[in-house]
Structure 1
Amino acid sequence: MLFAFTPAIQAGMEAGKYLQVFNNGIPIGMVRDAATGKFVAHAVGAAVDGNPLLPLFAPTQFLMKGAGLIQTHMGFQETYRQIGFVQAGLQSLQNSVGVLQSTTALIGVGTVASVALGAINLHQTLKLRKEVEQMRLEVKNGFIDLRQALKEQGVEIRQIIEQVAQDNKFEQHRTVLIHAYGLFTQALQRFRSAMQLQETSRRNAEIDAVRGMFFEALADYTNPHLLEETSAAGQIRRLECAWGIEQAIVATYQVQGEVSAVSDRLSHLHNHICENASMVINSCESHNELNFLFPEMSRIRKHDLAVINTWQNQIDWMRSLPASELKLLASADFDTNEIDTKDRGLNKV
């Protein structure tokens, strides 16, 4: 994964004024002044194999502004300054989980027709998420109206949506998913409010309660009995929802400054994704399912796991810093420094 920086910062790097920060030879999306050692900027974008970073469920906000998020362990003032992009990351998670869950209304719980899988493949799912982000589609009770969203897909798709909706077994699953998504969104809203509390003990108590709600929602998505009743395509979409919620759990630890717990949860999540992916592949019963899963697994490996691994690398780097470096990090003002570099004309170098 290659990081991108603002033109001003990039020009400074090319001129030798700024240097990328590495941890064990891996870039972490941050730049420091070569002369003073001060941290001056974080990445504004990233690319994988020459294409823009576009994960399926991992929020890039936690990665692109990881330097600022790392600062949250320094105290509430820094946490407060980072509320905006933390909330943007949470909104990204909410959008992703809502869309991924919605596609199960076409997958159902039994054998899935190839035409149905094609209608909600990786490309179509990313397209639906974009429309939700742009408020062209709305997630209600955990589901998008797929009849409206996929109206251009033809009569056969609409018929499959109706058939799934009338299936009693899927209705049982749908009830659980509606409850889980509702709990997840309630926890997100409570988390947003909790981050704005200025009294430390009250804030941490609220965030602890939020984390409990996330774990409760997670249990519904990973319910082994329900997963066993679901096809491989349905399993992967529910597990992707679960992985998104697990990242929200990581965020609760991070804004509390519990960096050891953050590293542990991210390591656990990485291993969990790999184990779950293997389980889903082994449960495939047709070439159609394999064809559906292949691009999805590739995207997860190259994009989502790249985000999670870099996030953990940022945290582990911060944990290894001596007191003097932590002091520099705590005093960094990334936005101001980027403005200053523009004023110096470095973008013209």
Structure 2
Amino acid sequence: MAFFSYDTLKSLMFRLDPENAHTLAGLGLRVLPACPPAWNAMIDRYFVELPELRQNLWGRTFRNPVGLAAGFDKNGDYIRATPALGFGYTEIGTVTPRPQSGNPRPRLFRLVGERSIQNAMGFNNKGSYHMIQRLKRLRFFDYPVGINIGKNKTTPEKEALRDYETLFKAFRDYGTYVVINISSPNTPGLRDLQNEAFIREVFRIGTGITDKPILLKIAPDMSEEQALELCRVAVEAGAAGIIPTNTTVDYALTPHAKDFGGISGALLTEKSRNLFRAIGREFHDRTLLISVGGIDSPEEAYERIRMGASLVQIYSLLIYEGPALIRRINEGLVRLLKADGYRHISEAIGAEWKTMKDER
């Protein structure tokens, strides 16, 4: 990818079924670390490491704040290749206790005109044992890795806590942080777990098993009041962070949407930004926030940071713009920080609310 235009590669890949294209891209990413000249060339071209962006979070160094969102690397197969795409960290999964094939195909669709993706994958993954074997190979690889966990499709809602307990135990010694995913629209009944009782209990179980930071990922398809209440409950229950937002089931966003699955990418930008603004206003100084959803430029990433995000994540827009987007966001963040007189990203986190407070 470092040796020819991403637009050329994209034109070839977009001739393939989206899921087949993803599988082919994944194969390349698995092979990349075994070819040091290519790996190093991509690191040099795309990875931005500047002191203004370096942060120490949860005892780990994040060399830049832009991460790969969960869903791209479902099985932890591409971790070593992720820095070559420019990302400062990665979030793998969603992983379930047992392997599962996910929903029937076709289940991944491009909305090219809107630079978006619609997916109904359904947590297809090789299970926790496979992922642990992948993580064991990273003993000397110093790179932040979040692990996104979810219940198996066949696990009844009343037994969901058991699946999360199994996963907390499985990954207690792995990764930088763990994310509770109860916000995907592609596992029947999963979003029903976004309630106070379940959140309190799952954090009680998780914090009793592992010392790893545990975060909650929430859906964009709820009112601000509902979202703020869920975040409050999670923080009180021990959440080390909140990740707004997962994909949306607001199919009115485009006439080209299927009537199933979740939409991500540029169509999600406004919806995700608006909900994050409400959450950032209330929680930027109470817990760590990671913003994801339609971030497609340095300006959009910087706005989320000023709203309270310590980190941001990209997925769908990577498919449309390639790793140059990650480099452009990181370089642009430094430019925007300097334009506002900030010497470090930490000074800009939540600055919108600090400014409003100062003006009162």
**Structure with greater contact order relative to length (CA < 8 Å, sep ≥ 6):** 1
State the structure with more CA Rg.
1
Could you tell me the TM-score, scaled by structure 2's length?
0.31
Q: Which structure shows the higher helix fraction?
A: 1
